[in-house]
Structure 1
Amino acid sequence: MSGIEKRKLRHLRISLEEEVETDISTGFKDVHLIHRALPEIDLDEVSLNACFLGKKLAAPLVISAITGGTEEAKIINAVLAEVAEEKQIGISVGSQRIAVDQPETVPTFRVVREKAPTTFVIANVGTPQLSLGWGTEEVQTCIDMVEADALALHMNPLQEAVQVDGDTGYRGVYAKIKELSREVSTPIIMKETGAGIAWEDAVKMQKAGASGIEISGVGGTSWSAVEYHIAKEVGKKEMEYLGQALWNWGIPTAISVIETSNKTNLEIIASGGLRTGVEVVKSIALGASLGGMAKPFLEKAVEGREVLSDHIDHILREIKVVMFLVGAKNVHELGNVPVVVLGRTAEWLKRRGFDVAEYVTRV
Structure 2
Amino acid sequence: MISDRKLEHLLICKNYDVEFKNKTTGFEDIELIHNALPEIDKNDIDLSTSVFGKKLDSPLFITAITGGHPSSKEINEQLAIVAEENNIALGVGSQRAACEHPELEDTYSVVRDNAPDCLLIGNIGAPQLNLANKAVEILDADILAIHLNPLQESIQPEGDLDARGYLDLISKITDAVDIPVMAKETGCGISGDTARQLADAGVSFIDIEGAGGTSWAAVETYRAEDRYYGELFWDWGIPTAISTAEVVNNVDIPVISSGGIRSGLEAAKAIALGADSVGMALPFLKKSISHEELTQFIHKFNDSLRIAMFLVGANNIEELKQSKLVVRGKTREWLNERGINTKNYSRR
Q: Which category of TM-score, normalised to the shorter sequence, fits these structures?
A: over 0.9
Structure 2 residues without counterparts, runs of 5 or longer: none
How far apart, CA to CA, are the structure 1 residues paired with 2:42 and 2:148? 40
Contact (CA 8 Å) 1:52, 1:289: kept in 2 or not? no
Q: Which amino acid aligns with 1:172?
A: G
Identical-residue share of aligned pairs (%): 46
How far apart, CA to CA, are the structure 2 residues paired with 1:140 and 1:56? 25
- Give 1:180 shift: 1.9
How far apart, CA to CA, are the structure 2 residues paired with 1:165 and 1:113? 31
How far apart, CA to CA, are the structure 1 residues paired with 2:95 and 2:305? 32
- TM-score, with structure 2 as normaliser: 0.98
Find the counterpart in structure 1 of residue 114 from structure 2: 115
Runs (4+) of structure 1 moved beyond 6 Å?
none
1:312 to 295, 298, 303: 298
Structure 1 residues without counterparts, runs of 5 or longer: none
- Let me know the Cα RMSD of the aligned residues: 0.9
- Give 1:121 shift: 0.3
1:31 aligns with 2:24: no
Find the counterpart in structure 2 of residue 202 from structure 1: 195
Contact (CA 8 Å) 1:22, 1:221: kept in 2 or not? yes
Find the counterpart in structure 2 of residue 4 from structure 1: 2
Q: Which SS does the other structure have where 2:135 is aligned?
A: helix
1:342 to 328, 333, 340: 328
Q: Which SS does the other structure have where 2:159 is aligned?
A: coil
- Give 1:4 shift: 1.3
Find the counterpart in structure 2 of residue 295 from structure 1: 282
Contact (CA 8 Å) 2:133, 2:176: kept in 1 or not? no
Find the counterpart in structure 2 of residue 327 from structure 1: 313
How far apart, CA to CA, are the structure 2 residues paired with 1:161 and 1:312? 34
Q: Which amino acid aligns with 1:5?
A: S
Find the counterpart in structure 2 of residue 91 from structure 1: 90
Contact (CA 8 Å) 1:53, 1:211: kept in 2 or not? no
Find the counterpart in structure 2 of residue 100 from structure 1: 99
Q: Which amino acid aligns with 1:357?
A: K
Matches within 5 A, 1:216-295: 216-231=209-224, 236-237=225-226, 240-295=227-282
- Give 1:97 shift: 0.3
Q: Which amino acid aligns with 1:193?
A: T
Q: Which amino acid aligns with 1:49?
A: S
* Residues 303/177 of structure 1: CA separation in 2 closer, same or farther (3 Å cut): closer
How far apart, CA to CA, are the structure 1 residues paired with 2:165 and 2:155? 21
Q: Which SS does the other structure have where 2:146 is aligned?
A: strand
User: Per-residue displacement from partner, 1:253-301 (whole Å, max 9, x unpaired)?
Assistant: 000000000010121111100001101111111011111000001112x
Contact (CA 8 Å) 1:284, 1:335: kept in 2 or not? yes
- Give 1:100 shift: 1.0
User: Per-residue displacement from partner, 1:191-237 (whole Å, max 9, x unpaired)?
Assistant: 00000000000000000000010011000010000000111xxxx22
Q: Which amino acid aligns with 2:186?
A: T
